[in-house]
Amino acid sequence: MSPQTPMDGTRVVVSPGRTVLGVGATETVGTYADRHGTKALVVASEQIFGIHGDRIVEHLHDAGVETAVYDSVRPDPTVENVEAAFDVWTEEDCDVIVTLGGGSSIDTGKATGILATNEGSIRSFGVDKAGYEGVPNPIPPLIAVNTTAGTGSETTRTSVLSDESTSTKFIIVSENIVPDVAIEDPELTVSLPKSHTAFTGIDAFTHAIEAFTSVKSYSVTDNYARDAMNRIVDSLPVAWSNGEDIEARTEMMIAQFKAGKAFGNSSVALIHGMARPLGAQLHIPHGLANGLILPYVVGFNQMAAPEKYAEVARILGVADEDESTRMAARKASDGIEALCEDISLTAYLDDFGEVPAREEYLEVVPEMTQDAFDSGSPDNNPRKPTRDELEDLFVRVYDDALAPDSRRRS
């Protein structure tokens, strides 16, 4: 079990400076931008800017804040995205960043801010090169207008980017990149397609369960994670089935925010360590990669933290209170598979991702395994895998969930 209070010194609870939550929250973006600057760089994908951009720009202009726009963010944003956004920042002489979107836009905005106030290439700030807290100077003011219910990036000190030159992802972690303002308006998530409702929802659940079972968890993060998991189990299938259900969308917005605060102040672990290289190699959306891996890592971990996984199983509704801890813990992975089935998660592999033949996949398993270890995330896992065990987990994911004739896809 995790300690109920920090046992090895103090903890810093990282959180955005201010959070505005609820229907209509986007109307405040101009007010907060005006407090921090006079010209905003709006960072978004083309699709999201096309849906919500005019409204955000109008709110900024109404508050007297000028704008420049970078709207070429890709899913799993790249080094090139960051460099291009920074070029706009510099050329337009901006002084505040407004991100519009989910984790991809927010992480691009954070990384753009790093380049604005620090010397060096963005790759040089990855934890594998600079370590944790490797960003010397705070980024410019950043206001994150969230349009998904999954990543929690608006709450965290983390930015995840793709390096296409090596087909890998890298992580930047620093308190100096936490957004100043998070704007959580559930109305913006109504336009999410079912696929991305599923991906982001499972991403949020993964954040919560990994924070809950991490070796760095403690009472504060446990409470965030526990509440997030309960809300997701109740609301994700509803939001996926009926995207216009504003109550379910609101519950998911709250859940992902709490899951973000949970892992942002605890950690992610082996699932994310595996999902980053899997997503980079197969071009699978991050949340989908998490959901594919999740049941197998939970099964691998469950006897290393049986009390935690027993509670997860009970939250998922697959174990009774009168069942023994060990018996309940064994059911957690089944409950996760059922949640994934409720939102048809694996069916989206037909349209998202590039699943290779088994022989081709096996060739990159050693590389993905090394990338997972290099990320540092497996160190936070309740059970530390050996290299052979981690390679076996990657193979099991393929045989049981990725292959076209696999059990979870058939």
Query: Domains of the chain (ranges plus CATH)?
Result: 18-189 (3.40.50.1970), 194-402 (1.20.1090.10)
2: pLDDT confidence band, cut at 50, 70 and 90? very low
| Residue 197 token pair | 């409702």
Find the mean pLDDT for residues 278-307.
95
Q: Is the pLDDT of residue 1 over 80?
A: no
* Beta strand ranges found along 71-165 (DSSP E): 96-101, 142-146, 158-163
What gap in Å lies between CA 116 and CA 173, rounded to an integer? 17
| Residue 32 token pair | 């907060």
Q: Is the pLDDT of residue 119 over 80?
A: yes
Residue 353 has what pLDDT? 84
Q: Is the pLDDT of residue 123 over 70?
A: yes
- Computed over every residue of the chain, the mean pLDDT equals 95
Say if strands 66-70 and 96-101 run parallel, antiparallel, or are unpaired: unpaired
What gap in Å lies between CA 334 and CA 183, rounded to an integer? 35
Find the mean pLDDT for residues 201-209.
97
Residue 3 has what pLDDT? 45
CA-nearest of 234, 131, 246, 264 to 191 is 246
Model confidence pLDDT, tens digit, residues 329-384: 999 999 999 999 999 999 999 999 889 999 999 999 999 999 999 888 999 999 99
Question: Among positive and negative, which fits the CA dihedral 304, 306, 311, 317?
Answer: positive
Q: Is the pLDDT of residue 6 over 80?
A: no
Residue 8 has what pLDDT? 60
CB atoms within 10 A of CB 201: 28
